[in-house]
A = this chain, B = another copy of it.
Amino acid sequence: MRIALALKGLDYKAVPVALQDGEHLEAEYRTVNPQGLVPVYSDAQILLSQSLAIIEYLDETHPQPPLLPATPLERARARQFALLVASDVQPLTGLRVMSYLRDACRLDVAARRGWFNHWLMEGLDALELWLTAAERGTRYCVSDEPSIADVCLVPQLAVARRSGIDVEEFPRLAAVEARCLALPAFIAAGAAPPAPPS
Chain A residues in the interface with B (C-beta under 8 A): 34-35, 37, 45-46, 48-50, 52-54, 56-57, 60-61, 72-73, 75-77, 79-80, 83-84, 86-88, 90-92, 97, 100-101, 104-105, 107, 111, 114-115, 118, 122, 126, 129-130, 133
Sample (17) of A-B pairs whose CB atoms are under 8 Å apart: A34-B130, A46-B73, A46-B76, A49-B80, A50-B83, A50-B84, A52-B79, A52-B83, A52-B87, A53-B79, A53-B83, A56-B76, A57-B72, A60-B75, A87-B90, A104-B115, A105-B111
Are A45 and B61 closer than 8 Å at their CB atoms?
no
Q: Which of A60, A105, A122 has the most CB of B within 10 A?
A: A105
Q: A107's contact among B105, B114, B133, by CB below 8 Å, is which?
A: B105
Are B61 and A72 closer than 8 Å at their CB atoms?
yes
When chains A and B are docked, how far (Å) is the Cα of A10 from the Cα of B133?
A: 28
When chains A and B are docked, how far (Å) is the Cα of A104 from the Cα of B116?
A: 12
Are B60 and A72 closer than 8 Å at their CB atoms?
yes
Q: In this complex, what residue of B is CB-closest to A34?
A: B129
Are A88 and B35 closer than 8 Å at their CB atoms?
yes
CB of A92 to closest CB in B, whole Å: 6
When chains A and B are docked, how far (Å) is the Cα of A157 from the Cα of B13?
A: 38
Are A80 and B50 closer than 8 Å at their CB atoms?
yes
CB of A95 to closest CB in B, whole Å: 13
Q: In this complex, what residue of B is CB-closest to A107?
A: B105
Q: A91's contact among B37, B92, B104, by CB below 8 Å, is which?
A: B92
Q: Which residues of B contact A48 (CB under 8 A)?
A: 76-77, 80
Are B84 and A57 closer than 8 Å at their CB atoms?
no
| Known interface pairs A50-B83, A92-B97, A104-B114; 11 further A-B residue pairs with C-beta atoms within 8 A, sorted by A's residue number | A35-B88, A35-B126, A48-B80, A50-B79, A50-B80, A50-B84, A56-B76, A60-B76, A83-B86, A87-B87, A87-B90
Q: A100's contact among B75, B91, B118, B133, by CB below 8 Å, is which?
A: B118
